[in-house]
Structure 1
């Protein structure tokens, strides 16, 4: 037998990374996906020669600090004639000589992460290191996706849209996931190593990384920092002085870098869409297909009875503990579920926003969308919580001064509507409500509620006799403007009605917490003749709402109508979102790879007062070199324009997204984006 005298080993990262769809990570280190062969080349010193059947050696791959064959974190294997499907293998068809090309194959179910590669011929020679990722292109991998356009969107796309607002006004907000930006992959691997399970048993944790279900749960727990060295601190208080306002973030790259560069100190602050976006970045970086999902009208069911109860006193004040969030954002990950019965593969919901504990840790999911849709609440993980977010019923009561509770008539509050994600390959909104629930009022929906042990009477929708109350709004409700909203009371009875009307507006945050009043009509007596409709305008003025409105720009309108005879309570509630000014982005010149190009950015101040401390923040994967470009533009007067010309150098060809954020003392969380095609 010949001992190979190795001068150097070429891991062929340029060819391998391109073949394995990891070239966006760079070509200077080997990053491959499991279940697909990769090539390495041994260059032997002169006088040393390889000859098939004569030269013998073994390769050793190892992951983690204490690798073991038994746990699958170490594998030793010799030359075979061809690649094996179920174990690590190495083969060659090189002729005799001093250059040996080896084809190394990994099984599609081994742990992902950083591996060392060693050649053993009695004496061990370390050949190098490589990163192994999940492989949505391999039909034997648990994360396999059939359609290439889906893989392009859910694994390779570095930019996306996150939906916010209300059911009546859904707004798309751009986000840079940036999973292939410099340093991101190492930070995502570090995030796995910082999880408490790794600290308590590193080898068992590394072994668990073969399973996307396990990895998704670790990601869900590590994006929040409630019980570990996780990434983000949640804050819904409105006080962000010792950190970054959640609405200011535009990308995951800055957040993950700040966490990793500061010894895993928690990053202040995040809210649901920030938690979800960072989870999406980590999932895509590791090769798990992922999308960010928004649920409009999201219930938080703390006592798991699938019922949200709102209480008001006789003056219309909200005295309830429960709330329905205007929207809530989580992620779906795509994977097989061999741990469950057949039929639950595919999209799985996972929620990294810390709300409830699961197995003692703040994380949620993954739970199959099919289990949510069919009310199979005993399936792993955390099905009851996600089911309630999209299905809980809302009942509203008035608590009378004598303590008696009276159920309110009028409009019901919708829970779990317009469940939204960015469409594949376009900037359209894709409605995926049908994947989470059967159509409202359908026979299947009733059956699911029964299966979910949800027995209370479903509210019937549709026209009711008696008084009908609703709120109407005007089309143009711009931030900075004054405008009217209307209480509308219709009398469908055969008798004239005398009513007491309360109609008020208050600031509200996206998680449903009410703030200051910004418009009020109190104790007005209204006569409504039979068969007639009465309208009552309420003027909302910037001078009243400007100082207290949050960066969510949401105002909640509440109308309470009390009939005098018989004494009955009716209520309508509506949340409006005020329109932002648009950020105009204009490209100056044709963008080409590795050549400087400029973009002109502008925004008109819509407020009747000056904006102080105005600045633009600009980011784009493969455009701004992984950095956030920040420009302070000072003070901008009423109806004046803030302007900034930004210069950047694209580093790769293809479709890229430039994301812009505008912030100031009185106007913040203004986002804009421009899709750019980069040419050679």
Structure 2
């Protein structure tokens, strides 16, 4: 047996062997995907070990206790050191029972408390006679247990447990509310070494580094653990995993949209000695946090909020200030992201009054500080829906993300600031997550708020925002509407129709300013691609006038990148009354799909081929083309194929050979990047059959 010293306790040679029955225990605890050689178990559920004596004399089970210790300074007072007399309950509901004993062979059953601290434990056998003899039996790792009714992460639905704890693959939704796109993601919570990386992440949080004893004491609480993970996934305040960057250049790191899974990110952070990985954006932060929490046993899912508000000053209102051309003047720092991704984790909230258990919002993307650090949550989804903004954690910020009102102001050249529009139904649309057990989208908007515009929804917004009730705007005499397609294929021209409506009985003489801007998905303007001005458009009383124009694809081709929108803005001003009206339209530029065709039936350990098909949608050639292929249980690591050129409108077909190494549902993921066309995604679901007889 191993010989070691810990404080004043001697670890002695023993005349028996210990069989931790790792494979059997891990199978029963649903951790077999992590390891068959290390003992990894879940709290509130028993596991077994066997002691086999080398001699005829065996230790009397009435004279020993089992000791389980975690943390740098284990303490019985703090619950990080557990002493268990055999066949009797220990402190905190741990239990050790002799299942069978033959004199030279003893089978023990040990059941950790459903409220035990998670993490790495040393297991030893101690004499009860007051001496310092301590026989090390081995080590085990203890995780949360959503299958145990007494555990605070218990989830009473097996299909949901399979989806939100066990599923290593998923789908993340991006795009815009009118053009929702999906991208495959490999969470990989059971991949080699990922559990160790997650434990290292916990040991490197600021509270643990400053006082590990206090940190380890709180590791039984999923509220504490999940909030810690929310902080540690970004690197703003600590030795966290990812550095965020929302615009080029991405020199020295990986572009956020080039990541297809969490394993490469977590592995790089670990290999770099806990130094930050470059770069992440919201879906990357959320997906990595999902991996860590699923690995630790907390049911977690990735959620996308479209038209997501970022309320920087906490007034539950998003203020946008434009000049007379409709150009964004920045305002107070508020913004509306065309999408934002966070996670929900399932847990009881014993720190709150009853009624707020269940899904909790956690957001590791660094936006605003919470208690002095960049993290967000856990915020009960039920509290967000009811507008209970005084509960913890960070409910006002999440409430604004899904239900803030947007107020648009015009800053006139003469110094006037005119309120143009109050939009009450724009923020928080099509809140989405992957449907449980299926590869399609589930809309969970109703979980976050009552039906938009309903009496309940308006009353809750009003109650939550007593400081900023808006004065209703009077009906406007001048209106502007911008009409264009909701989305266009990349490489297409943009056709725009602007309608100016005069709802008065007198003729108006309008000047019209129009601009088109490339917008980052976080609501920030990146580049203006068009600007047009029209003088003295005559609009008769109670009539409309239309202005039609076109933006050629060449105007945006050099600037459009991942998740960018094109915002069209038209602002009309009556030169007589100086009445203004603003109209906007967001449109998505859609990359082509990558088509993946399987050439045969996927069978375990049998080579097969797939064909990858991509058509260049642009009127120019694509250069520096790279296809990256990944797939858990299909391809080891990443497979890259480089193509020098794909001509205008040319269709390219590539064949890929691979050998499935794991049976069951699998996902083949393909990413394409070039100098002019980036982040083209495709994936193919398949079911790998076992050996055919």
Tell me by how many angstroms 1:588 deviates.
2.6
> Distance between the aligned counterparts of 2:258 and 2:340, measured in 1?
18
Establish whether residue 477 from structure 1 lines up as the match of residue 488 from structure 2.
yes
Change (3 A) 1:125 1:648: farther
Q: Deviations along 1:253-309, whole A, 9 cap, x unmatched?
A: 111111101111111111111111111110111011111111112222222112222
Tell me by how many angstroms 1:4 deviates.
12
State whether residues 286 and 364 of structure 2, in contact with CA within 8 Å, keep that contact through their aligned partners in structure 1: yes
State the partner residue of 2:499. 488
Establish whether residue 288 from structure 1 lines up as the match of residue 298 from structure 2.
yes
State the partner residue of 2:23. 14
Q: Deviations along 1:579-626, whole A, 9 cap, x unmatched?
A: 11111112232223344433222211111111111111222233334x
Out of 60, 70, 75, the position equivalent to 1:68 is 75
The 5 Å alignment of 1:232-631 reads 232-321=242-331, 322-409=334-421, 414-458=426-470, 466-474=477-485, 477-625=488-636, 627-631=637-641
> Distance between the aligned counterparts of 1:271 and 1:4, measured in 2?
52
Establish whether residue 58 from structure 1 lines up as the match of residue 70 from structure 2.
no
> Distance between the aligned counterparts of 1:38 and 1:159, measured in 2?
28
Q: Deviations along 1:393-427, whole A, 9 cap, x unmatched?
A: 21112122221112215877711222111111112
State whether residues 486 and 586 of structure 2, in contact with CA within 8 Å, keep that contact through their aligned partners in structure 1: no
State whether residues 82 and 90 of structure 2, in contact with CA within 8 Å, keep that contact through their aligned partners in structure 1: no
Question: Which consecutive unaligned segments of at least 5 residues does structure 2 have?
Answer: 1-11
State the partner residue of 2:5. none
State whether residues 325 and 514 of structure 2, in contact with CA within 8 Å, keep that contact through their aligned partners in structure 1: no
Q: Secondary structure at the match of 2:100?
A: coil
Q: Deviations along 1:132-182, whole A, 9 cap, x unmatched?
A: 111111111111101111111111111111111111111112111111111
Q: Deviations along 1:542-585, whole A, 9 cap, x unmatched?
A: 21101111222421111212234433211122221111111111
Out of 146, 163, 174, the position equivalent to 1:164 is 174
> Distance between the aligned counterparts of 1:292 and 1:655, measured in 2?
20
> Distance between the aligned counterparts of 2:472 and 2:647, measured in 1?
52
> Distance between the aligned counterparts of 2:654 and 2:578, measured in 1?
60
More deviation in 205-214 or 354-363? 354-363
More deviation in 239-248 or 449-458? 449-458
Tell me by how many angstroms 1:458 deviates.
4.7
Q: Secondary structure at the match of 1:23?
A: coil
TM-score (norm 2): 0.92
Change (3 A) 1:545 1:367: same
Change (3 A) 1:208 1:651: farther
> Distance between the aligned counterparts of 2:407 and 2:99, measured in 1?
72
TM-score (norm 1): 0.94
Change (3 A) 1:679 1:526: same
Out of 85, 92, 102, the position equivalent to 2:98 is 92
> Distance between the aligned counterparts of 1:224 and 1:415, measured in 2?
25
State whether residues 488 and 536 of structure 1, in contact with CA within 8 Å, keep that contact through their aligned partners in structure 2: yes
Q: CA RMSD in A?
A: 2.3
State the partner residue of 2:6. none
State the partner residue of 1:193. 203
> Distance between the aligned counterparts of 2:250 and 2:155, measured in 1?
41
> Distance between the aligned counterparts of 1:129 and 1:400, measured in 2?
70
State the partner residue of 1:109. 115
Establish whether residue 80 from structure 1 lines up as the match of residue 97 from structure 2.
no
Q: Deviations along 1:317-347, whole A, 9 cap, x unmatched?
A: 2213332211111111111001010001111
Tell me by how many angstroms 1:349 deviates.
0.8
More deviation in 472-481 or 390-399? 472-481
Q: Secondary structure at the match of 2:644?
A: strand
> Distance between the aligned counterparts of 2:248 and 2:100, measured in 1?
66
State whether residues 398 and 407 of structure 1, in contact with CA within 8 Å, keep that contact through their aligned partners in structure 2: yes
Corresponding residue pairs, total? 673
Out of 35, 43, 48, the position equivalent to 1:26 is 35
Tell me by how many angstroms 1:530 deviates.
4.5
Tell me by how many angstroms 1:86 deviates.
4.3
Establish whether residue 173 from structure 1 lines up as the match of residue 183 from structure 2.
yes
State the partner residue of 2:8. none
More deviation in 161-170 or 525-534? 525-534
More deviation in 99-108 or 400-409? 400-409
> Distance between the aligned counterparts of 2:123 and 2:321, measured in 1?
64
The 5 Å alignment of 1:198-217 reads 198-217=208-227
State whether residues 176 and 659 of structure 1, in contact with CA within 8 Å, keep that contact through their aligned partners in structure 2: no
Tell me by how many angstroms 1:524 deviates.
4.1
Q: Secondary structure at the match of 2:530?
A: strand
State whether residues 519 and 539 of structure 1, in contact with CA within 8 Å, keep that contact through their aligned partners in structure 2: no
Q: Deviations along 1:436-471, whole A, 9 cap, x unmatched?
A: 12222222223323432334345879x956344222
> Distance between the aligned counterparts of 2:152 and 2:258, measured in 1?
36
Change (3 A) 1:390 1:476: closer
Change (3 A) 1:589 1:99: farther
State whether residues 64 and 85 of structure 2, in contact with CA within 8 Å, keep that contact through their aligned partners in structure 1: yes
Q: Deviations along 1:502-549, whole A, 9 cap, x unmatched?
A: 222111100111122223321344333455444322312121101111
Out of 635, 638, 642, the position equivalent to 2:648 is 638
> Distance between the aligned counterparts of 2:472 and 2:453, measured in 1?
9
Q: Deviations along 1:179-206, whole A, 9 cap, x unmatched?
A: 1111111111111111111111112111
Establish whether residue 222 from structure 1 lines up as the match of residue 222 from structure 2.
no
Change (3 A) 1:541 1:189: same
Q: Secondary structure at the match of 2:99?
A: coil
Question: Which consecutive unaligned segments of at least 5 residues does structure 1 have?
Answer: none
Tell me by how many angstroms 1:495 deviates.
4.2
> Distance between the aligned counterparts of 1:50 and 1:581, measured in 2?
70
State whether residues 491 and 532 of structure 1, in contact with CA within 8 Å, keep that contact through their aligned partners in structure 2: yes
> Distance between the aligned counterparts of 2:274 and 2:39, measured in 1?
26
State whether residues 331 and 349 of structure 1, in contact with CA within 8 Å, keep that contact through their aligned partners in structure 2: yes
More deviation in 5-14 or 580-589? 5-14
Q: Secondary structure at the match of 2:56?
A: coil
